[in-house]
Structure 1
C-alpha cells in the first residue's frame, strides 16, 4: 500500500493561535450527533480550529488530509484503513483487503465491514476528513453517503470542506443527527482580532483598528493574519490609514501576501516561490533545488536555510504536515499566488530543472504517485513515463497491479495510446480482468510503436520481451503452439534477470506449449534445469517456480506433485506476503484435494483464497468460487452451495462484465443434474450464455457439463451430439496434453458407451482408465459422472472385489445415496435403513475404531491415504447416525450382538 503518512496528521497548533471558547463549545454541543460538518471558504481556519478542539478532547482520533488523488475511491479507502489501523492495528487488520483491489464492490459491501468493526468499539473515535471539497467523484460521494447513514453513534465523523459536499444525508438531517459549523461561526470577531494581534505580533490594536480589519476582511482569518503581519512591520502606519482604500477581499489577500514577501530577504523569497511548485516541501528538497540551479556552487544554501527555517517557525501561511516539522505545505491561496510569480520570474529551463529534481526527490521518498503527478502537471510526459518505468519491474515482481492501475490512471489517454511501455502495462491489466479483445489491441499498438528489435536499445529490448511474454497467452489460446514456443523463448531471453514475473510468465507458456506438443519430458527437463539455476536470494523467482511446477503437475495429472509444489509456493507466499502466489497455490492445492475427494482440507484452502479478496486477480477468485461450489455439490450441501453461488454472482457484478455469466448457468445445470432434475438442468443451460473463459490449464471446462446434460434423461437427450462433443474435446485435451481434462473426457465417454448399451465396451474403457488414475488416487473424475458410473464401477467391483481403489471410489458415491446436507435450518436428514447399506469395508473400519486405532493407523493397515480414511469415516457416521467415536463403538458392539443372535 503506497501511503503518504504525513497526510494522516492533523495540523500542528502553534502557541500564537488564540483560544476560541465559543467555537469549542459549539463542537461540544454536537457531541451526541455522529456527523459534523465544518463548512467555510478557504482561509477561515477550519482545519486549525478542529485541530485545536482535538487537542482539548480526550478521544482518540484519525485525520486524513484529502488531495486530488483521493478522487479515486480505492486510494481514499487505503488512507482510511491506514488511519484506522494507526489507532488499533489488530482491530482493523481485517479491513486491509478492502484497499487491495483491482475493481471495487458495491458501496454496501465496502461500508459494511468497516461499520461492523466500528460498532464493536465502545470508546469514542473521531474521524476527520480535511479538504473534502477536493472530491468530485460521485462514486466517493455515494460511498460516504452509505457509510455515514449507518455510522455508529458512539463515534463522530467530521467533514471539513469549502462548500457542502453532495452527500445524501437527508435521513440523518431529518433525525437531527447532523451538526454544522459554518462560515458565520468561524469568522473572527473584533475582540478575537485584537487578541490575535497581541498573540501574533505583541501589538495591541485599538477597537477602531480592529473594526476596520473586520470590515475589510469580514472575519477571514488568512488576510487578517497577513494584515497584522504588515502592521507589525510598519511602525508609522495604522490600520485606519489602510481603510482609506476599500478593496475586494481577494485583492487584499494578494496585496498583503505581496507586502509580506516584499519584506523578506530576496533569496528566501525566491526559494519559497520554488517551494510552491511542489505538492509538499522540506528543507532537503529546497537544498537540492538550489544545487540543481547552481551546479557550480557559486552560492551557499546554508545561510538561506537558516533564514527559511526561522520563517517556517513563525510562518502565517505555511502549515506543518507532521509533528516533527519535516514536511510543509502552503495554504492553497498562497501557493497559487507564489506559483504564478515563480513562473513569471524564472525561465522555462530553470523551472524544468527544479521540477525534475523535485520529481526525483519525491520518487526517492517512495512517493512515486506524487512524482508522476507533478511531472504530468507540467506536461513533462517523458519524465513521468521514465518514473513509472523505474518502478516497473519491482511492481511486476511484487504483483502490485493495483498500484499499476492507479499510476496508469494519471496519464492522459492520448499519452498512453502513443507510448508502448504504457500500452504493455495496460495490456497486462486487461489480461487480469479477462478483457482479451482490449488486451490484443494494446499489444498490437505497442508492437507497431516499438523500434525494430535488431536496432533497439536495451530498454526497448526489455519492452519487446514484455510484448512476447504477454502475446504468448493469445497464441496459446488460439492453439498456435509453435509460435508460443518461439515467442516465449524470445521473452525469456530478453527479460532474463529483469523481471521474475514476466520472465516466468513466458516460461509458463513455453512449458505449456512443449507439453501440448507432446514434449512433456522436455518440458519437465527444462523446468528442472531452471530450478537448478535459482541461486538468487530473490523469493519472487522461487515462488513463481513452485506455482508453475504445480500448474505443470496438474496438466500431467500428478496429484502428489501438485500438492507438494503448491504448498511450497504457499509457504513462501505467506512468509513474503505475496497474495497473488498465495491465491494460485491455494487454488491448485484445492484442485488436487478435490480430485482425491479430501474435501474438508480442500475447503480450507479455498476459503483462505476467497477470503483474501485479492481481486487484482479476479479470474482466479472466480475459479475458486466455482470450485468451492463444486465442493458443496460433492458434499450434498445445498444451502452452502446456494450461499457460495450467490457470493460468486455478487463478486462477478463488481467487474461490470458479462464474461463470467456462463458460470451461473453452468453451476445451476450441474446442481440440477446432480439432484436428478434433468429438465430444469436443460432449461438452465439453454437460457444461459455458453462462452467459456477458462484457461486450458484450469480445472473446469463447460463443454463437459454440456456433454453430461446431453446424456441426461430428458426429452432433449441427444447422445449423437454428446458423442461429437466428446470426440472434439478428447482431441482438444490431447492437443494441450492435459491429463486431467483427458481423464474427465474419458470418464464421460465410458458413460456414453453405457447409455448406448455398449456395456462391455464401457467396462473395457473403465478398466483402462482406472489403471491410469489409480496411482494418483483420483476419485472425483468418476463420482462427478453420477449413477451411471456408479453402476459400471459396481460391475468392475464384482469381478475385482479386493481392489481397494475401486472400493474407495464406490464409497465416494455414498453421500449422494443418503442425505443432501444444507448446513442450515429446515433441512432434515432423509431417514433410511442405514445398517442395510453398510459395506464390509466400513464394518472393518468400525472394528479398527472399536479396537482403539487412530485414523493414520487405519490408513496404514488398509493401504489408503489418510484423507480417504477420513472420508470413509465421515460417510459412515452419516449412514449410521452417530457423531463421535464413542457412539460408533457402541453401534459396532450392538451390530456384533445382532450378528451373533442371528447366527444362533
Structure 2
C-alpha cells in the first residue's frame, strides 16, 4: 500500500487564489475569457509569468461562476492521488452550483483510478447547471494514464461541466476533435500580454511611478508585454528616476530577470537543450538547418519545435514552423550565459553561422557574422564580391 496515495489531501491546493486590491483588473481579458466561457474545454496556454492563473481567478470572481479549483504539482502525476484531488475539486464546484455532492466523492482512498473515474462521471451527470473545473499548472502532469482518463472524462462528461486547463504547453489530449466540434476555447500569450494602456495603468496608477509615455512604450517593447518582465522592471526602477535613456539598458541581464528566467525556464530544461540555447543565442532568427550548423546539433529542428510547443520563450516567425526567434529578454539572458560559459567558442559559432548564410545566399548576414567571428579575410572577400 503506497503511503503517498492514502495521505491526507492538502486543502490549500483546492482554494481559488485570491489577490489584494492592488492587483490590476484586466477587463478586456476577462471579456475575452467570457467569450469562450461556454466551451467544453478552455485552454489558457502561455509561458511562465504571463498571468494565466491571475486572469482565470479574476474571471471566476467577476463572472460569479461556480467553480472547483485544483493547483497541481509534480507529485500529482500519481494517478490515485490525482483522481482523489479531482474528485474534491468537482465536489467543491458542485457545492458552488448549489448541489450537495454524494458521499462517493468524499473518499480518503480509492480502489482504483478507473473506479473513481466512473464515479466522477456519474456524479457529473447528476448536475444540470453550468459549473467549472480549473486545473492549474496542468503541464506538470506527466503520467500518460492520467491524460487518457482526462480524455475519457472530457468525452463523456455532462455538457454542463466546463474544464479550464491552465498550462505552459498544450496537453497531450485530442484537442483537434474539440476544435472541429467547436468545443474548445483557447487563449495564448497574444491575448495575455499587457498592451500599452495596461502598462500605463500598472506603472502609474497602481505603482505610482509616474513614467512618461515614451518610457512606458519602451518598456512595453523590451518586455513584449510579458507581465513578469514588466513587474521585474518596476522592481528595478524602485527608488530611481526612470528615463528612456536608462531604460534602454533594461534587459535580460537585469538581476531580477536573470533570477526569474534562470529558475523558471532555463533550469527546467534538459542540459543538452540548455547548451543548444546558449550556442544559438548569437542568432537573431533561427531555423533547424541554421541551428544545426551553428550548434552542431542534428536534431535542432526537433528541439526548436519542442521549445515552441512548451512555450519556452521561443516565438514562431511563420505559419509553417520553419523560422523562430527568442523572446528579447530571454535572448539577452542566454547571450550573457554564453559569454560566461563558452566565450572561447564565440568566434567559431559566428564563423559557422557566416558559412551557412553565405551558402544559402544571404551575404549581409554572412558578412556580419564573419566580422563578429574575427574572420576578416572572409568578410573582406564577401564585401568585395557583393559591393556592386
How does the TM-score come out when normalised to structure 2? Answer: 0.61
Mapped to 1, the partners of 2:184 and 2:134 lie a distance apart of 15
Out of 264, 278, 290, the position equivalent to 1:333 is 264
Counterpart position of 1:71: 77
Contact kept? 2:68, 2:91, Cα under 8 Å: no
**Structure 2 counterparts to residues 17-28 of structure 1, below 5 A:** 17-28=23-34
Counterpart position of 1:94: 104
RMSD over aligned CA atoms reads 2.7
Deviates more, 1:199-208 or 1:172-181: 199-208
Mapped to 1, the partners of 2:18 and 2:42 lie a distance apart of 21
Cα distance, 1:165 vs structure 2: 0.8
Counterpart position of 2:163: 157
- Would you say 1:58 and 2:64 are equivalent positions? yes
In structure 2, the residue corresponding to 1:91 is in which secondary structure?
Answer: coil
C-alpha spacing 1:112/1:171, structure 2 compared with 1 (3 Å): farther
Out of 226, 233, 240, the position equivalent to 1:220 is 226
- Would you say 1:201 and 2:211 are equivalent positions? no
In structure 1, the residue corresponding to 2:151 is in which secondary structure?
Answer: helix
Mapped to 2, the partners of 1:13 and 1:136 lie a distance apart of 29
C-alpha spacing 1:256/1:199, structure 2 compared with 1 (3 Å): farther
Mapped to 2, the partners of 1:155 and 1:138 lie a distance apart of 23
Cα distance, 1:230 vs structure 2: 2.1
C-alpha spacing 1:215/1:111, structure 2 compared with 1 (3 Å): same
Cα distance, 1:73 vs structure 2: 1.2
Mapped to 1, the partners of 2:48 and 2:18 lie a distance apart of 18
Mapped to 2, the partners of 1:137 and 1:158 lie a distance apart of 19
Cα distance, 1:186 vs structure 2: 0.3
C-alpha spacing 1:198/1:257, structure 2 compared with 1 (3 Å): farther
Contact kept? 1:145, 1:169, Cα under 8 Å: no
Contact kept? 2:50, 2:227, Cα under 8 Å: yes
Cα distance, 1:231 vs structure 2: 1.6
Contact kept? 1:16, 1:196, Cα under 8 Å: no
- Would you say 1:241 and 2:246 are equivalent positions? yes
Contact kept? 1:9, 1:63, Cα under 8 Å: yes
Query: What is the number of equivalent residue pairs in this alignment?
Result: 257
In structure 2, the residue corresponding to 1:219 is in which secondary structure?
Answer: coil
Contact kept? 2:84, 2:107, Cα under 8 Å: no
**Structure 2 counterparts to residues 368-767 of structure 1, below 5 A:** none
Mapped to 2, the partners of 1:170 and 1:92 lie a distance apart of 34
Contact kept? 1:16, 1:199, Cα under 8 Å: no
Cα distance, 1:216 vs structure 2: 1.3
Out of 146, 169, 179, the position equivalent to 1:140 is 146
Higher helix fraction (1 or 2):
1
Contact kept? 2:14, 2:89, Cα under 8 Å: yes
Mapped to 2, the partners of 1:159 and 1:177 lie a distance apart of 14
Contact kept? 1:81, 1:99, Cα under 8 Å: no
Contact kept? 2:83, 2:117, Cα under 8 Å: no
Cα distance, 1:17 vs structure 2: 1.7
In structure 1, the residue corresponding to 2:44 is in which secondary structure?
Answer: strand
Contact kept? 2:203, 2:210, Cα under 8 Å: yes
Q: Which has the higher contact order (CA 8 A, sep 6+)?
A: 2
Mapped to 1, the partners of 2:135 and 2:162 lie a distance apart of 11
- Would you say 1:190 and 2:196 are equivalent positions? yes
C-alpha spacing 1:122/1:34, structure 2 compared with 1 (3 Å): same
Mapped to 2, the partners of 1:198 and 1:91 lie a distance apart of 46
Contact kept? 1:197, 1:203, Cα under 8 Å: yes
Contact kept? 1:36, 1:158, Cα under 8 Å: yes
C-alpha spacing 1:156/1:100, structure 2 compared with 1 (3 Å): same
Mapped to 1, the partners of 2:18 and 2:33 lie a distance apart of 19
In structure 2, the residue corresponding to 1:233 is in which secondary structure?
Answer: coil
Cα distance, 1:117 vs structure 2: 1.3
Cα distance, 1:81 vs structure 2: 1.4
**Structure 2 counterparts to residues 875-894 of structure 1, below 5 A:** none
Mapped to 1, the partners of 2:41 and 2:12 lie a distance apart of 25
Contact kept? 1:81, 1:92, Cα under 8 Å: no
Bigger radius of gyration: 1
- Would you say 1:16 and 2:22 are equivalent positions? yes
Structure 2 gap ranges (5+): 1-5, 269-388
How does the TM-score come out when normalised to structure 1? Answer: 0.27
Structure 1 gap ranges (5+): 259-316, 318-330, 338-904
C-alpha spacing 1:174/1:47, structure 2 compared with 1 (3 Å): same
Mapped to 2, the partners of 1:217 and 1:165 lie a distance apart of 26
Out of 47, 51, 75, the position equivalent to 1:45 is 51
Mapped to 2, the partners of 1:239 and 1:156 lie a distance apart of 45
Mapped to 1, the partners of 2:170 and 2:22 lie a distance apart of 30
Counterpart position of 1:697: none
Cα distance, 1:332 vs structure 2: 6.6
Mapped to 1, the partners of 2:245 and 2:101 lie a distance apart of 58
Cα distance, 1:257 vs structure 2: 6.9
